[in-house]
């Protein structure tokens, strides 16, 4: 009997063995913060100084203070993050952490991962902040070991937590309406209704509508290598419109020995795809329709003060239509449909004081159908088995995990069900360590980790008509990290909170999946395992909270990242003009930074934020022709809260890109200049 079989059997019989124990007091939910205190609408969350997994988070008033529209906008303020933004409210927005690639990132919505087996991308632009309570980013995996097996299977993780109903004494409902409007034809009303049915059950419904023309002026300027200006003109961005609806509902319950919740989510959008500004083409006609639906549920039960288990389940259906009516290129009207079924069970036990263990087993099924000619619809079965442990002794904390991944793909070739040959079985270890070297300095700790993980080829990589390659291998990452954290709080004086974190890391990505030309046809491509990337970086963050006067508070935060992410695929590819070996990979800046500050006085606040992205190249051939200039933006906003007995009104005025800088995140995709937004929120 192999180790996978033993783990699977343990996950089945372990609850039965523990359930027979005498029930003790219920374990209190683990907290990720040691203390919480408020100062005139500004909450401060003090983290444990022995934080074992490098993480960053935005929540509460800090999240509201940033001039952001979507989750992707907020993530720009984290260190070590690159956001690929194709412009405008409706433009595609994806995340890359520490240059390992977008497909290595896991995005979790209320504890369960958002999937896309077709291309591995999650468009973070479609998740607005209207119903989001907290965004957390982890390098490697989440700090808590009590989690599903799938949570151990990513190189980096983003956790989005939506609002949980909270009620003042004597209230059984909350109602919040928000109206946003501004530049580029933006109209964005939303509604959140929370209801307390009894002492054990609450619910929430959130609905939102977004409409924008997406038209904005931009300056398009190109300079030849000789220094001569090729062209310099001003135009209006076209075909960037969007119309989207979102509605989600959730029910939360608690019992004497546990909690449960269920959520349903639906998103429907139609958007234009503005396209790249190349070959003197300023307008595009491509359109995209998305319909995303999922239902998920979670049940946690405390059997004793030493054992608890959790069951998660999810079903998702995603439909996408892509239309390219331009017959001068290639007329396309393609439709795709994905289905996902997911079930997980996790079991947490405290073996001894300070020593905990978690065992988890997940099953996931994915399928994809498409209207493409000669498309072979694939199916994927995934079984994940995880064993994790955490040990705390004195000033040391240790966390280790082992993830077993088993994947079977089946493909329908010419209506004959055959196994495509893509079967994978692999073990992935991770080790995290935190240590406080000085007994007299409890607020300071060192931390380190190593993690080996991989990402599977997507359905598009493997099976897309005339492009997919069924012989692709998984793309592997090895991560090393060494850093420190110092965090301290004071309840008197001017400085109330300070936190400083810094980490140095090295990542190795090999078997990178890239597209290469196939044959002599310029438009024929095939996916291959050819890439290898070495990544070295340093990221630092600092934040402080100052109480200047009784009703005046100042929160300041700063992030800085240095990254050297070089292509080590082919040592012979070292031509000084076209070679890529040793070159910084595409769109990764050596230096990036952000600043944010919030000054609050009674019911008013003034917020400022700054983002800087340094020089970079749009290919791994680091030549003058491929050079991309640094860009930066200044955002500012002011808000005022009018409090009455039965309702609250909040007025906010935002200005993004205050100095109207013209820049591009992705080559030939110009970003908006200065824009304005007004927000009116009413709470009852």
pLDDT tens profile 55-91: 888 887 778 777 677 788 888 888 888 887 777 777 7
pLDDT for position 50: 59
pLDDT for position 67: 67
Burial of 263 (0-12, 13-18, 19+ CB in 10 A): buried
Residue 621 per-residue DSSP state: S
Sequence-distant (6+) residues with CB within 8 A of 130 are: 178, 190, 192, 206, 208
Q: Is the pLDDT of residue 583 over 70?
A: yes
pLDDT for position 125: 79
pLDDT for position 221: 77
What is the spatial distance between Cα 455 and Cα 139, in angstroms, rounded to a whole number?
15
Considering only residues 653 and 71, tell me which one the structure prediction assigns the higher pLDDT.
653
pLDDT for position 27: 30
Cβ(502)–Cβ(462) below 8 Å: no
What is the spatial distance between Cα 122 and Cα 72, in angstroms, rounded to a whole number?
10
The neighbour count for residue 199, using CB atoms within 10 Å, is 7
Q: Is the pLDDT of residue 113 over 80?
A: yes
pLDDT for position 573: 81
Considering only residues 626 and 148, tell me which one the structure prediction assigns the higher pLDDT.
148
Cβ(123)–Cβ(88) below 8 Å: no
Q: Is the pLDDT of residue 16 over 60?
A: no
Q: Say what the pTM is.
A: 0.87
In the chain the domains, ranked by start, together with CATH numbers, are 3-683 (2.40.170.20)
Q: Which tens digits make up the pLDDT trace of 591-645? A: 999 999 999 998 899 999 999 999 999 888 888 888 888 999 999 999 999 988 8
Strand partners, 270: 243, 289
Sequence-distant (6+) residues with CB within 8 A of 124 are: 70, 71, 72, 75, 83, 93, 94, 95, 107, 158
Bridging pattern class, strands 105-109 and 156-162:
parallel
Q: Is the pLDDT of residue 7 over 60?
A: no
Q: Is the pLDDT of residue 25 over 80?
A: no
Q: Which tens digits make up the pLDDT trace of 295-350? A: 999 999 999 989 999 999 999 999 999 998 887 777 889 999 999 999 999 999 99
Mean pLDDT is lowest, of 18-32, 158-172, 289-303, 364-378, for 18-32
What is the spatial distance between Cα 399 and Cα 357, in angstroms, rounded to a whole number?
10
**For the chain, percent of residues with pLDDT exceeding 90:** 49
Q: Choose among 649, 616, 651, 652: nearest CA to 631.
A: 616
pLDDT for position 191: 95
Q: Is the pLDDT of residue 417 over 90?
A: no
What is the spatial distance between Cα 484 and Cα 128, in angstroms, rounded to a whole number?
33
What is the spatial distance between Cα 352 and Cα 392, in angstroms, rounded to a whole number?
10
Q: How many residues can be counted in the chain? A: 684
Q: Is the pLDDT of residue 427 over 70?
A: yes
Cβ(69)–Cβ(89) below 8 Å: yes
Reported confidence tier of residue 457, pLDDT bands at 50, 70, 90: confident
Burial of 578 (0-12, 13-18, 19+ CB in 10 A): exposed
């Amino acid at each position: 009997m192999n180790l996978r079989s033993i783990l699977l059997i343990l996950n089945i019989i372990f609850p039965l063995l523990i359930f027979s124990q005498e029930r003790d007091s219920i374990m209190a939910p683990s907290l990720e913060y040691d203390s919480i205190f408020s100062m005139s609408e500004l909450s401060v969350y003090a983290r444990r100084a022995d934080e074992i997994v490098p993480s960053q988070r935005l929540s509460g008033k800090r999240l509201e203070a940033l001039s952001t529209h979507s989750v992707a906008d907020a993530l720009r303020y984290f260190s070590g993050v690159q956001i690929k933004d194709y412009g405008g409210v409706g433009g595609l927005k994806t995340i890359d952490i520490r240059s390992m690639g977008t497909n290595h990132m896991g995005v979790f919505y209320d504890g369960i991962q958002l999937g896309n087996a077709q291309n591995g991308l999650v468009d973070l632009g479609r998740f607005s902040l209207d119903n989001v309570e907290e965004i957390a980013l982890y390098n490697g995996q989440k700090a808590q070991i009590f989690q599903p097996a799938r949570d151990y299977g990513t190189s980096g993780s983003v956790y989005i937590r939506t609002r949980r109903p909270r009620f003042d004494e004597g209230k059984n409902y909350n109602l919040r309406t928000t109206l946003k409007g501004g530049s580029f034809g933006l109209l964005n009303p939303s509604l959140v209704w929370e209801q307390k049915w009894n002492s054990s059950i609450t619910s929430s419904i959130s609905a939102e509508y977004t409409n924008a023309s997406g038209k904005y002026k931009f300056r398009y300027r190109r300079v030849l290598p000789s220094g001569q200006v090729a062209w310099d003109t001003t135009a209006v961005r076209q075909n960037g419109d969007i119309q989207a609806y979102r509605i989600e509902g959730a029910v939360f319950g608690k019992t004497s020995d546990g909690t449960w919740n269920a959520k349903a989510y639906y998103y429907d959008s139609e958007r234009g795809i503005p396209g790249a500004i190349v070959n003197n083409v300023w307008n595009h006609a491509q359109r995209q329709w998305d319909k995303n639906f999922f239902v998920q549920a979670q049940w946690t039960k405390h059997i004793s003060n030493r054992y608890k288990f959790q069951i998660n389940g999810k079903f998702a259906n995603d439909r996408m239509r892509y239309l390219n009516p331009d017959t001068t290129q290639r007329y396309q009207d393609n439709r795709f449909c994905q289905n996902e079924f997911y079930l997980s069970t996790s079991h947490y036990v405290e073996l001894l004081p300070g020593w905990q263990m978690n065992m988890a087993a997940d099953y996931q099924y994915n399928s994809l159908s498409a209207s493409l000619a000669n498309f072979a619809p694939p199916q994927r079965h995934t079984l994940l088995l995880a064993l994790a442990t955490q040990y705390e002794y004195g000033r040391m904390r240790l966390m280790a995990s082992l993830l077993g991944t088993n994947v079977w793909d089946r493909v329908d070739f010419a209506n004959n069900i055959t196994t495509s040959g893509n079967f994978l079985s692999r073990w992935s270890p991770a080790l995290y360590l935190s240590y406080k070297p000085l007994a007299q300095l409890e607020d300071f700790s060192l931390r380190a980790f190593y993690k080996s993980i991989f990402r599977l080829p997507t359905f598009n990589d493997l099976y897309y008509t005339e492009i997919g390659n069924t012989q692709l291998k998984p793309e592997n990452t090895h991560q090393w990290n060494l850093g420190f954290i110092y965090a301290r709080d004071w309840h008197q004086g001017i400085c109330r909170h300070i936190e400083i974190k810094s980490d140095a890391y090295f990542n190795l990505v090999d078997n990178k999946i890239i597209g290469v030309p196939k044959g002599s046809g310029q438009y024929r491509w095939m996916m291959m395992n050819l890439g290898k990337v070495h990544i070295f970086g340093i990221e630092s963050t600092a934040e402080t909270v100052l109480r200047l006067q009784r009703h005046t508070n100042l929160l300041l935060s700063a992030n800085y990242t240095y990254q050297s992410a070089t292509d080590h695929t082919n040592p012979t590819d070292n031509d000084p003009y076209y070679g890529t070996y040793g070159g910084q990979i595409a769109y990764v800046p050596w230096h990036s930074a952000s600043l944010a500050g919030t000054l609050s006085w009674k019911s008013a606040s003034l917020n400022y934020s700054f983002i800087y992205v340094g020089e970079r190249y749009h290919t791994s051939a680091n030549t003058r022709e491929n050079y991309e200039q640094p860009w930066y933006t200044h955002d500012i906003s002011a808000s005022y809260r009018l409090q009455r007995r039965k309702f609250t009104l909040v007025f906010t005025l935002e200005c993004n890109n205050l100095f109207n800088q013209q820049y591009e995140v992705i080559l030939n995709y110009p970003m908006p200049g200065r824009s304005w937004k007004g927000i009116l929120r009413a709470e009852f």
